[in-house]
Chains A and B, each alone.
Chain A
Amino acid sequence: MPDPRADSPLSESLPDNSLYVESALEIRTDAIVAEVHGASGAPGDAVKRRLGFGFWLAIAWLVLMTFLAAFGPMLPLDDPTDLVGKSKESFSSDHWLGTDKLGRDLLSRTVSGTRISLIVGIAAVAGGLLVGGTIGLIAGFRRGWFERTSMAGGDILLSFPAVVLALAIVSFRGRDLWDIVLTLFILSVAPILRLTRANSLQWSQREFVQASRVLGAKDSTILRREVLPNVLMPMASLALVGVAIVIVAEGTLAFLGLGIQTAFGVDDPISWGKMVLEGSKDLETAPHIAFVPATALFLTVLALNFAGDKIRGHFDVRESSL
């Protein structure tokens, strides 16, 4: 939020006769009031400092998903494209998550779908961080025309309906895995740029960064050693949430019929979004076909959001305390 309070009490000159008692005592201003403020936070706030059980649960789920994505084919599961069971079979001991309309095992299909989701999510966000993050970092630090140009560019990118951009790119390039990744990467640059710049701005105005500048350190050094390490954590949290958003976006595209058509040379790869699309046609008779992949999608995205938020909360508290 805009904080126009330019005249903080620190900028007013301290009265001279406070020198004699406090000057030689290098203590934090009013440790007790600090404790009071800490204690007067909402009950249970102290607990937030620890990451908590939920966080680790989320991480465990994500690790599981990564594992399945990487080693899926090696697991003793049915081939996801084979017709191994009866059509639209519900949960059974043979097929733990049932089968779809064509009789393919849903468990193995869901496991197979993790790969697409995670690859798309991680690749798009990694790219977005690299490009948007770097620009934002510099923009918040350097200010001036660089910041203004990049923010204007970001604004224009943002005011484009995402739909138009996504569809245009997809129409233009086709629907290979990497085209979708490209689309989502382009869409993620602007918000990442915005948020990185906001963070970079905040940190760049802190005294220790100003001090470095005054001491004549090179900009790149300051960025690397003072600003970047501090911005890294909020960015990590943003990255996790970003991956979640991208996974949902890919799922949505797939649902709209614009899913990934080829991946690594394989035709019609399995993705959760596509599975939901297929399942939505039999919603009344066999809802599990749609809801099994939907649940997998939901849990993964939930875990990412939750972990991202916990990280942010963990590091925000340090910032805002006295």
Chain B
Amino acid sequence: MGFLLRRLALLVPVLLVVSFLTFMLMTMLPGGPEVNFLGPQAVQDLSICDDPELDLNTRTACEDTIKIREELNLDDPLLVRYFTWLGNAVQGDFGDSVITGVPVSQTISERLPTSIALMLYAQAIALLIAIPVGIISAYRANGVVDKSTTGLSFALIALPSFVLALVLLFIFGKKLGWFPTRYDIDAAFRDKAKAMFLPALTLGLGLAAVYQRLLRTDLVATLHEDFIFMAKAKGIPARRILFRHALRPSMFSLITVVGIQVGALIGGAIVVEQIFLVPGLGLVITEGILRREFQIVQASVLVITFVYVMVNFVVDILYGFLDPRVRHARSAR
């Protein structure tokens, strides 16, 4: 218990470090949000403004840029800006979008559920495929199912997500017309589920390939252990040995990666979001960086890091569940 609490206590420092690094990174980017107001005229490198022989256009651009930066407090020292942001953030105010004026927290609360739904959908598809296939492949290793799914898994892992997305979109969306090709956030639940199927499938297939291989490898290794042989010698039938004895100790790699993917998918499904037009967090972050919208990037990264740490925490608890030796080793510390 103490061990787990200590892990949880790491959450705050990690969030602080990551948010600070992100902040720093964003400020190091050439130019800032003023680009959005002034367009390409915005001066990226303000050192040229010191030149006394500037032409009129450039001088105007300089003045405008400087003025906006002042309004937005963009030239205050880094730490001052960071702590201002932090101070607001802990009160729930993540600032507003400089362009639209929409509060960042609102944008995130609109987009986050979609991303989470997509992630859950994809993970569900992946696990529904991977677990049975993995078990059969391991149990009848090198048999028909195993060999064909190994080949298939390889192909899926090798397939870049954008290619797979395009293929699925092309075949099932356009040619066969089975699924709608865009996601409408206001539609009825059933339609939304249909619209999200192809994007979730794209992500899920890639995940399934990885999960299946992980499970199979671990399971095959476990099935070689002495205690499985002993269970056989006790007269326990094969299927029972498989599910009651072999499965639990073989889940470690799988749940580790599932945990990692939860965080990875929420912010990282950009390609899928773009191709299938799903309004998720990934696109928000991408646009945010490209448009130098610090606020939204900061807040999004914070959310994702939070999810990542929490999920890893849960996975750690699960380790303790799966293997009592881990549990006891921890309490012994």
| Contact of B309 with A159 in the complex, beta carbons under 8 Å | yes
Partner of A163, one of B28, B218, B267: B267
The verdict on A276 contacting B163 (CB below 8 Å), with A2-B252, A156-B14, A283-B174 known, is: yes
A-chain residues with CB within 8 Å of residue B308 when the two chains form the complex: 159
| Contact of A159 with B154 in the complex, beta carbons under 8 Å | no
| Contact of A172 with B252 in the complex, beta carbons under 8 Å | no
In the complex, the chain A residue whose C-beta lies closest to that of B142 is A44
A-chain residues with CB within 8 Å of residue B154 when the two chains form the complex: 302, 305-306, 309
| Contact of B160 with A1 in the complex, beta carbons under 8 Å | no
Shortest C-beta distance, A295 to chain B (Å), equals 9
Interface code A266-279, partner B: CB below 8 Å = 1, 0 otherwise? 00000001001000
B-chain residues with CB within 8 Å of residue A160 when the two chains form the complex: 18, 21-22, 301, 305
Shortest C-beta distance, B10 to chain A (Å), equals 10
Shortest C-beta distance, B87 to chain A (Å), equals 23
CA–CA, A305 and B155, complex, Å: 9
Which residues 244-297 of A sit at the B interface, judged by CB distance below 8 A? Answer: 244, 248, 251-252, 255-256, 273, 276, 280, 283-284, 287, 290-291, 294, 297
Instruction: State whether the Cβ of B271 lies closer than 8 Å to any Cβ in chain A.
Output: yes
Interface code B135-169, partner A: CB below 8 Å = 1, 0 otherwise? 00000011000000000001101111111001101
Partner of A287, one of B18, B29, B159, B170: B170
Partner of A167, one of B17, B218, B224, B286: B286
The verdict on A171 contacting B290 (CB below 8 Å), with A1-B218, A42-B141, A294-B163 known, is: yes
Which residues 152-208 of A sit at the B interface, judged by CB distance below 8 A? Answer: 156, 159-165, 167-168, 171-172
B-chain residues with CB within 8 Å of residue A4 when the two chains form the complex: 323, 325-326, 329
The verdict on A172 contacting B28 (CB below 8 Å), with A156-B18, A167-B290 known, is: yes
CA–CA, A276 and B142, complex, Å: 36
The verdict on A2 contacting B285 (CB below 8 Å), with A168-B25, A172-B28, A172-B30 known, is: no
Shortest C-beta distance, B176 to chain A (Å), equals 13
A-chain residues with CB within 8 Å of residue B220 when the two chains form the complex: 42
A-chain residues with CB within 8 Å of residue B325 when the two chains form the complex: 4-5
Instruction: State whether the Cβ of B282 lies closer than 8 Å to any Cβ in chain A.
Output: yes
| Contact of B285 with A161 in the complex, beta carbons under 8 Å | yes
A-chain residues with CB within 8 Å of residue B163 when the two chains form the complex: 276, 294, 297-298
A-chain residues with CB within 8 Å of residue B305 when the two chains form the complex: 159-160
| Contact of B263 with A244 in the complex, beta carbons under 8 Å | no
In the complex, the chain A residue whose C-beta lies closest to that of B171 is A287
A-chain residues with CB within 8 Å of residue B30 when the two chains form the complex: 171-172
| Contact of A290 with B166 in the complex, beta carbons under 8 Å | yes
Shortest C-beta distance, A191 to chain B (Å), equals 11
In the complex, the chain B residue whose C-beta lies closest to that of A165 is B25
CA–CA, A32 and B121, complex, Å: 50
Chain A count of residues within 8 A CB distance of the other chain: 47
Interface code B218-236, partner A: CB below 8 Å = 1, 0 otherwise? 1011001000000000000
The verdict on A164 contacting B285 (CB below 8 Å), with A283-B166, A302-B158 known, is: yes
Instruction: State whether the Cβ of B62 lies closer than 8 Å to any Cβ in chain A.
Output: no
| Contact of A156 with B21 in the complex, beta carbons under 8 Å | yes
A-chain residues with CB within 8 Å of residue B157 when the two chains form the complex: 305
B-chain residues with CB within 8 Å of residue A287 when the two chains form the complex: 170
In the complex, the chain B residue whose C-beta lies closest to that of A284 is B174
| Contact of A1 with B252 in the complex, beta carbons under 8 Å | yes
| Contact of B142 with A45 in the complex, beta carbons under 8 Å | yes
| Contact of A252 with B25 in the complex, beta carbons under 8 Å | no
B-chain residues with CB within 8 Å of residue A276 when the two chains form the complex: 162-163, 166
Q: Which of A42, A164, A165, A276 has the most CB atoms of chain B within a 10 A radius of its CB? A: A164
Interface code B267-285, partner A: CB below 8 Å = 1, 0 otherwise? 1101100110000001001
A-chain residues with CB within 8 Å of residue B290 when the two chains form the complex: 167, 171
CA–CA, A30 and B289, complex, Å: 63
CA–CA, A309 and B157, complex, Å: 12
In the complex, the chain A residue whose C-beta lies closest to that of B319 is A2
B-chain residues with CB within 8 Å of residue A45 when the two chains form the complex: 141-142
Partner of A159, one of B18, B162, B170, B282: B18
In the complex, the chain B residue whose C-beta lies closest to that of A42 is B141
Which residues 104-150 of B sit at the A interface, judged by CB distance below 8 A? Answer: 141-142
B-chain residues with CB within 8 Å of residue A302 when the two chains form the complex: 154-155, 158
Instruction: State whether the Cβ of A301 lies closer than 8 Å to any Cβ in chain B.
Output: yes
A-chain residues with CB within 8 Å of residue B203 when the two chains form the complex: none
Instruction: State whether the Cβ of B297 lies closer than 8 Å to any Cβ in chain A.
Output: yes
Shortest C-beta distance, A169 to chain B (Å), equals 9
A-chain residues with CB within 8 Å of residue B282 when the two chains form the complex: 163
B-chain residues with CB within 8 Å of residue A309 when the two chains form the complex: 154
In the complex, the chain B residue whose C-beta lies closest to that of A313 is B217
Instruction: State whether the Cβ of B49 lies closer than 8 Å to any Cβ in chain A.
Output: no
Instruction: State whether the Cβ of A225 lies closer than 8 Å to any Cβ in chain B.
Output: no
Instruction: State whether the Cβ of A43 lies closer than 8 Å to any Cβ in chain B.
Output: yes
Shortest C-beta distance, B197 to chain A (Å), equals 19
Instruction: State whether the Cβ of B86 lies closer than 8 Å to any Cβ in chain A.
Output: no
Instruction: State whether the Cβ of B200 lies closer than 8 Å to any Cβ in chain A.
Output: no
Shortest C-beta distance, B145 to chain A (Å), equals 12
Instruction: State whether the Cβ of B26 lies closer than 8 Å to any Cβ in chain A.
Output: yes
Instruction: State whether the Cβ of B253 lies closer than 8 Å to any Cβ in chain A.
Output: yes
The verdict on A283 contacting B158 (CB below 8 Å), with A163-B286, A167-B290 known, is: no
CA–CA, A40 and B232, complex, Å: 14
CA–CA, A41 and B271, complex, Å: 41
Instruction: State whether the Cβ of A224 lies closer than 8 Å to any Cβ in chain B.
Output: no
In the complex, the chain A residue whose C-beta lies closest to that of B218 is A1
- Apart from A164-B25, A283-B169, A301-B160, what are 19 other A-B pairs with CB-CB below 8 Å? A1-B253, A2-B323, A4-B329, A40-B224, A42-B141, A44-B141, A44-B142, A160-B22, A160-B305, A164-B297, A172-B29, A252-B162, A256-B274, A280-B275, A287-B170, A294-B163, A297-B163, A298-B155, A305-B154
8 A/B residue pairs, CB under 8 Å, sorted by A: A1-B253, A2-B319, A167-B286, A171-B29, A171-B30, A248-B160, A290-B166, A306-B158
Per CB-CB distance, the 7 closest pairs between chain A and chain B, nearest first, are A42-B141, A44-B142, A302-B158, A1-B252, A301-B158, A161-B267, A4-B325
